[in-house]
């Protein structure tokens, strides 16, 4: 069976093609290009560690055991450590930086091994010149001790994932946020506060069954988390909602 490599990155232009090409070139040098599949890139919102963390956790939910995840998303002013390792559950391999983007993923799947990649110093577009070759070596089964040194789990940075924080806004303007809805009744009305807006929404099991332009809150398709959307309209664009904003749902209005 082929092993899969999944890049999660905010490099959405030619840079993500460079990442794939650099990894393929290294795999071919190792003689394993035909045994390892590089998946289409998972594109994160620019500079959003919250979105990158969510996308990594979401992809890990569906990809098979032994998949290699590489997160290339680093808006940090201070250059963080380059990390790699293996999870306890599903034997995932991963490469990323110590920005907090790995914490949710490792909390849920456990950390079996955690290493810091040997640091060659700053290189412009380190994702291409440092991370991509490392991903190829790790996917090929390289010994971790030859690529880096053990990294203490206690030094792993964390993100502040507050209740209600917006994790992802999709291309339809549907808003996935960090809440598990309490038991609600079909058609129940709630008040929703987001940014400077206060709106009325209804709870529905199937959002698209509601009227066009109606705000609906519902149990979404991702990790059991709640979603908010405006039926057949881009509600997030209308309100200017983005990842990192916070949604608060109040008691019934009626």
For 122-159, how does the pLDDT look when each residue is reduced to its tens digit (9 = 90+)?
A: 899 999 999 999 999 999 999 999 999 999 999 999 99
Global confidence as pTM: 0.95
**Which tokens go with 113?**
């091994």
**Which tokens go with 74?**
């680093």
Give the pLDDT of residue 113. Answer: 98
Tell me which of 155, 180, 214 is where a domain ends: 155
Question: CB-based contacts of 48: which residues, under 8 Å, 6+ apart?
Answer: 10, 73, 242, 243, 244
In which domain, by residue range, is 124 found? Answer: 3-155
Give the pLDDT of residue 252. Answer: 61
Give the pLDDT of residue 131. Answer: 95
- Domain assignment present for 160: no
Task: Round to whole Å and give the CA distance between 236 and 159.
Answer: 23
- Burial of 223 (C-beta count, 10 Å sphere; 0-12/13-18/19+): middle
Check whether 37 has a pLDDT greater than 50.
yes
Could you tell me the strand order of the sheet in which 197-203 lies?
A: 166-169, 175-177, 226-230, 215-219, 197-203, 189-194, 247-252
Looking at the structure of the chain, the number of domains it has is: 2
Check whether 17 has a pLDDT greater than 60.
yes
Cα-based torsion angle of the residue sequence 194, 198, 199, 201 in order, rounded to the nearest 10 degrees: 60
The pairs formed by 29-36 with CB atoms below 8 angstroms and a separation of 24 or more are 30/136, 30/137, 30/140, 32/139, 32/140, 35/2, 35/3, 36/2, 36/3, 36/4, 36/5, 36/136, 36/139, 36/140
Task: Round to whole Å and give the CA distance between 225 and 219.
Answer: 6
For 207-252, how does the pLDDT look when each residue is reduced to its tens digit (9 = 90+)?
A: 999 999 999 999 999 999 999 999 999 999 999 999 999 999 986 6
User: Same domain for 203 and 93?
Assistant: no
User: Same domain for 206 and 121?
Assistant: no
Tell me which of 155, 182, 210 is where a domain ends: 155
- Domain assignment present for 214: yes
User: Same domain for 13 and 117?
Assistant: yes
**Which tokens go with 137?**
């070596």
67 falls in which pLDDT band (50, 70, 90)?
very high
User: Same domain for 119 and 190?
Assistant: no
Give the pLDDT of residue 15. Answer: 95
For 145-195, how does the pLDDT look when each residue is reduced to its tens digit (9 = 90+)?
A: 999 999 999 999 999 899 999 999 999 999 999 999 988 999 999 999 999
User: Same domain for 16 and 138?
Assistant: yes
Give the pLDDT of residue 167. Answer: 98
Check whether 253 has a pLDDT greater than 60.
no
Give the pLDDT of residue 18. Answer: 97
Query: How confident is the model over 109-134, as a mean pLDDT?
Result: 95
**Half-sphere exposure at residue 166, Cβ-oriented, CA atoms within 13 angstroms:** 22
Check whether 254 has a pLDDT greater than 80.
no
Q: How many CB atoms lie within 10 A of CB 147?
A: 17
């Amino acid at each position: 069976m082929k092993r899969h490599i999944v890049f999660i990155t905010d490099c959405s232009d030619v840079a993500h093609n460079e990442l794939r090409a650099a990894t393929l070139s290294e795999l071919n040098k190792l003689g394993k290009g035909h045994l390892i599949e590089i998946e289409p890139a998972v594109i994160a919102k620019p500079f959003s560690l919250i979105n990158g963390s969510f996308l990594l956790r979401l992809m890990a939910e569906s990809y098979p055991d032994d998949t290699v995840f590489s997160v290339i998303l680093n808006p940090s002013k201070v250059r963080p450590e380059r990390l790699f390792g293996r999870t306890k559950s599903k034997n995932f391999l991963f490469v990323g930086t110590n920005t907090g983007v790995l914490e949710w993923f490792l909390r849920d799947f456990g950390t079996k091994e955690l290493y810091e990649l040997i640091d060659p110093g700053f290189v412009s577009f380190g994702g291409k010149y440092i991370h991509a070759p490392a991903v190829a070596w790790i996917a090929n089964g390289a010994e971790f001790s030859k690529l880096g040194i053990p990294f203490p789990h206690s030094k792993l940075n964390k993100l502040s994932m507050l209740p209600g924080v917006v994790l992802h806004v999709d291309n339809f303007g549907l808003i996935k946020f960090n809440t598990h809805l309490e038991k609600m009744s079909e058609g129940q009305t709630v008040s929703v506060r987001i940014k400077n807006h206060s709106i009325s929404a209804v709870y529905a099991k199937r959002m698209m069954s509601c009227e066009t332009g109606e705000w609906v809150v519902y149990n979404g398709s991702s990790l059991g988390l709640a979603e908010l959307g405006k039926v057949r309209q881009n509600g997030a664009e209308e309100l200017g909602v983005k990842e990192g904003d916070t949604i608060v749902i109040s008691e019934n209005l009626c």
